[in-house]
Structure 1
Amino acid sequence: MNVEQYKDIAPYRGSDVRDAIERVLKNKDALYRILSSLGPVESEAERQQVDTYTNYIFSELEKVTTYDEFQEHITAGIFLPAIIEKSVNKFSFDGLQKIKDDQAYLFMSNHRDIVLDCALIDFALDRGGKMLCEMAIGDNLLTNQFITDLFKLNGGVTVKRTLPMREKYLESIRLSAYFVELITEENKSIWVAQKSGRAKDGFDVTTPAIIKMLHLSQKKKGISFSDVVNNCHIVPVAVSYEYDPCDLIKAGEEVTRLAKGEQAKKRYEDLISISRGMKGYKGNVHIAFGTPLEGEWENSDQVAQEVDRQIHTLYKLWPTNLFAYDYLYNSTQFKDSYKDFDKEAFLYRFKGTREEVRQYALNTYANPVVSYLAAQKK
């Protein structure tokens, strides 16, 4: 693999890692602000804790020479445990017995949180003793050099979204070629969301074009569609949050979009969602790894349908999902699964919002159940 031809989109490698770390080390205040955003810093004890975390991270950064080490020591070692401690009741995962220790994969998951979906998948892989993965995230999030450095130090692969249509198509093929070569030639795993943008309605549906682009990037080499899919070792992954900290924000955005059409994002809108997603209460969180795809495949639609089927059946349905389904569909089908669930407190979560936003938000919790029931019939 010619890494140089992908240098603008690939994670930092070689001397670029230490150069980026030196820039980060010169910006202690920015790191302090990020850590402060993960929880309250009102008391002197809380401020002291953040200061201790910041100093510890800086001491650990001195030892980092690769993005694998950054992921292991900084992200999985410090940031994610802090996020889980402050905003998650229980973090769990299963299915790693289907993942080989020395095999690279293309992990394809549903997309609910801008940053945490992949970060938590990586955390599960780390805790399960598996190979960590690079992650594909849009360049719209790279708002300054500090954020770009943290992202690319953490195995980040840049998806260029702000390009003219023709250039965007060619860049998609190049990005897909990077995915395939990373897995087949470098034996490194990578994560990509099943669609561009978060599933704000609770329906997790794979965009077939993601699969199609993988093949297009290899077509000149004469590699068949099935061989490309099998060589990428695609693993569907279901990320299930009991509570979505951004549920009402997403619902409000979608209600407005449906009424007025697509709206231009406000400055820093994504960063606000990232912050809320990291520090907001999530209840229980579960990561379920599916079975690697293999066999003969006719087209990208067939592959996308299998990814969807696995994600829909693996998705951990929490009482929030099951109650919302019964509540909206006037059903008692799942009543035994949430008999100890505080239904009034859950509904109070949406009190004071416009009725159409309330209904939309409740549907985002119910729709994974709709998808699960439909998948059971296939």
Structure 2
Amino acid sequence: MFADIRPFQDAEVKTVLKTTLNDPALAKAMGSWLAPSLNKKAPWILHPLIRMVLKVYLGSVIDVAGFQQKLGPLVSRLLKKSVAEFSVHGLERLDNQKAYLFVSNHRDIVMDPVMLNAALHQKGFQTARVAVGDNLLNQPFSANLMRLNKSFIVKRGIRGMKARLKAAQELSRYIHFSILEETASIWIAQREGRSKDGYDRTNPAVIGMFSLSKPILRTYSDYINELNIVPVAISYELDPLDLAKARELYALDTKGDYIKHKNEDLNAIARGMTGWKGRVHLEFGDVLQGKFDQDDEVAEQIDRQIHQLYQSFPTNAWAEACLNNEVAEIANANVATLKNRVELARPELRPYILKQYANGLRMRRGEAPL
């Protein structure tokens, strides 16, 4: 059941992992990230070494829990090197024996769910299954690694209305099955694609997908409420990809279109993972329960919580002051880093960087985005 989209199960782990570690594309991708110069000049030396190290480290893994246990120290090291302080609040109101549908704002392709699962693990919850678009799984090894790590696939590249509807209905059924039948929590972003302007909004189409598998005799409210939807606000003091997002927004405003470069998503994943973020805060909201008649109402309630739960930092206040031509205080080293980044950017891109940070304050105050 759901074999083409669900995470791999324990019985599949050893076979999939063996195939993945022997995939030459994995060693090549790891080489380009870890040692790009040597990857080009002497791949015949680097690639076998990478395969050997991976097999030694992961060779004893026999189930999903074992795979995630191996990833734990790597995630801890990553957070230690790229985050000044990682804080979490709100999980104490939830029950670690229940399953939830965590719907969060989306600022980073990989780090948003990584940090959510790190928070869940730290507080004694089971890690959540993670929704990932098939546009990020263009290599078999990347799809395998994601699914070994409890990710499930959102099919976005399907053509034809009937085929897309069928895939969305299957995804809806899978989410309900995970939460209600397997007591397994789910993470999904509030919209397809990251927030580029720093103002978080839930796409009602995501909510509509949740109810696509609703039986005729069930009410809309009942079907939504049983998912235990929990809005989650992820707040970064610094976004390692703010300049890249500014370029995209500028292109859309001036040319009406933005064309991604080859491997742009993979490069964004690497920069988002390793780039300095300053402080990061996760705030878990209240379980969504109520009388809902349509998708927009659910989306509005998720937005209301995320906007209120978003934690601002001095970088937000500094950016807003700059946009208002006010004296902007350099409150800490991260503000200084942002100031330097803005000054080094092309003049036409600077407002787009500043707006990403200022909009966090505006949505907290219930104001329209810049």
Cα distance change on mapping 1:271 and 1:297 into 2, 3 Å: same
Letter in 2 for 1:66: D
Question: Which one of 360, 367, 374 corresponds to residue 359 of structure 2?
Answer: 367
Cα distance change on mapping 1:164 and 1:34 into 2, 3 Å: same
Give yes or no for the alignment of 1:298 onto 2:290: no
Q: After the TM superposition, which of the residue ranges 294-303 and 247-256 deviates more from structure 2?
A: 294-303
Assess if the C-alpha contact under 8 Å between 2:21 and 2:51 holds in 1.
no
Distance in 2, matches of 1:55 and 1:223, equals 54
Question: Which one of 154, 158, 166 corresponds to residue 159 of structure 1?
Answer: 154
Map of 1:16 onto structure 2: 12
Assess if the C-alpha contact under 8 Å between 1:83 and 1:279 holds in 2.
yes
Where does the alignment leave 5 or more consecutive residues of structure 2 unmatched?
A: 39-47
Question: Which one of 75, 88, 96 corresponds to residue 93 of structure 1?
Answer: 88
After TM superposition, the structure 1 = structure 2 runs for residues 316-335 of structure 1, keeping only pairs within 5 Å, are: 316-330=311-325
Give yes or no for the alignment of 1:106 onto 2:101: yes
Give yes or no for the alignment of 1:196 onto 2:188: no
Assess if the C-alpha contact under 8 Å between 2:21 and 2:54 holds in 1.
no
Deviation at 1:37, TM superposition (A): 3.6
Deviation at 1:245, TM superposition (A): 0.6
Map of 1:83 onto structure 2: 78
Deviation at 1:104, TM superposition (A): 0.5
Give yes or no for the alignment of 1:139 onto 2:134: yes
- SS of alignment partner, residue 343 of structure 2: coil
% same residue: 38
After TM superposition, the structure 1 = structure 2 runs for residues 62-77 of structure 1, keeping only pairs within 5 Å, are: 62-71=59-68, 73-75=69-71, 77=72
Distance in 2, matches of 1:121 and 1:234, equals 15
- SS of alignment partner, residue 357 of structure 2: helix
Distance in 2, matches of 1:317 and 1:274, equals 24
Distance in 2, matches of 1:329 and 1:213, equals 40
Letter in 2 for 1:108: V
Deviation at 1:18, TM superposition (A): 1.3
Runs of 4 or more consecutive aligned structure 1 residues displaced over 3 Å after TM superposition: 27-42, 51-60, 338-345
Question: Which one of 225, 240, 243 corresponds to residue 245 of structure 1?
Answer: 240
- TM-score scaled by structure 1? 0.86
Deviations 1:295-316 (A, max 9, x none): 2222211111111111111111
Distance in 2, matches of 1:54 and 1:236, equals 40
Map of 1:45 onto structure 2: none
- SS of alignment partner, residue 374 of structure 1: coil
Give yes or no for the alignment of 1:308 onto 2:303: yes
- SS of alignment partner, residue 211 of structure 2: helix
- SS of alignment partner, residue 265 of structure 1: coil
Map of 2:42 onto structure 1: none
- SS of alignment partner, residue 216 of structure 1: coil
Give yes or no for the alignment of 1:218 onto 2:210: no
Question: Which one of 257, 264, 272 corresponds to residue 267 of structure 2?
Answer: 272
Deviation at 1:281, TM superposition (A): 0.9
Deviations 1:156-185 (A, max 9, x none): 111111111412232112111111111111
Distance in 1, matches of 2:79 and 2:28, equals 18
Letter in 2 for 1:361: I
Letter in 1 for 2:362: V
Deviation at 1:344, TM superposition (A): 4.9
Deviation at 1:14, TM superposition (A): 4.0
- TM-score scaled by structure 2? 0.88
Assess if the C-alpha contact under 8 Å between 1:91 and 1:285 holds in 2.
yes
Assess if the C-alpha contact under 8 Å between 1:37 and 1:279 holds in 2.
no
Cα distance change on mapping 1:344 and 1:127 into 2, 3 Å: closer
Give yes or no for the alignment of 1:236 onto 2:241: no
- SS of alignment partner, residue 351 of structure 1: helix
Cα distance change on mapping 1:295 and 1:246 into 2, 3 Å: same
Assess if the C-alpha contact under 8 Å between 1:95 and 1:288 holds in 2.
yes
Cα distance change on mapping 1:27 and 1:117 into 2, 3 Å: same
Letter in 2 for 1:170: K
Assess if the C-alpha contact under 8 Å between 1:114 and 1:198 holds in 2.
yes
Map of 1:182 onto structure 2: 178
Question: Which one of 276, 279, 287 corresponds to residue 284 of structure 1?
Answer: 279
Question: Which one of 301, 326, 346 corresponds to residue 338 of structure 2?
Answer: 346
- SS of alignment partner, residue 232 of structure 1: coil
Give yes or no for the alignment of 1:123 onto 2:95: no
- SS of alignment partner, residue 79 of structure 1: helix
Map of 1:47 onto structure 2: none
Cα distance change on mapping 1:342 and 1:223 into 2, 3 Å: closer
Letter in 2 for 1:187: T
Cα distance change on mapping 1:215 and 1:41 into 2, 3 Å: same
Distance in 1, matches of 2:258 and 2:337, equals 32
Give the number of aligned pairs: 357
Assess if the C-alpha contact under 8 Å between 1:239 and 1:288 holds in 2.
yes
Where does the alignment leave 5 or more consecutive residues of structure 1 unmatched?
A: 43-50
Please give the root-mean-square deviation of Cα atoms over the aligned residues, in Å. 2.7
